[in-house]
Amino acid sequence: MKEHSSISKFTMSRYDSCMSEIYYYYDYYYYYYYYYYSSSSSSSSSSSSYYYFYYYYYYYYYYYFYYYYYYYFYYYYYYYYYYYYCYYYYYYYYYYYYYYYYYCYYYYYYYYYYYYYY
């Protein structure tokens, strides 16, 4: 069970670091967009095309990181269910050997009494 919990912790730490990375980039490109927006507003009409370029550029990165956000969410749930699969698989084996042990135990006692009475 120890190794399963470590998988879960590792996955969560990966997920958290990824999320912070996304928010960092999101803030960075928002700042980038804002900077170009404010600079273009004080310039001529030719620089307004720059503003639109960076505006769409910012949106491209925004959706790009949104894609990464869902991609890591998919991985997070994948490892989450994988962890649970291993957890129940382990329990299945535990109960299998548990009942197998009891079966042998009673089988042995049956033979013991059988030979005892004969």
11-61 pLDDT, tens per residue? 444 444 444 444 444 444 444 444 545 555 554 555 555 555 566 666 666
Contact status, residue 11 vs residue 76, Cβ threshold 8 Å: yes
Domain boundaries, the chain: 2-117
Going from the C-alpha of 70 to that of each of 19, 65, 76, 90, 105, the distances in angstroms are 10, 9, 9, 30, 52
Nearest to residue 10, comparing CAs of 82, 113, 87? 82
Residue 63 has pLDDT above 60, yes or no: yes
Type of residue at 78: Y
Q: What is the pLDDT of residue 16?
A: 47
Mean pLDDT of the chain: 58
Write down the pLDDT at residue 64: 66
Which pLDDT value is given to residue 32? 46
What is the pTM (predicted TM-score) of this model?
Answer: 0.20
Tell me phi and psi for residue 42, to 5 degrees.
-95, 0
| Model confidence band, residue 7 (pLDDT cutoffs 50, 70, 90) | very low
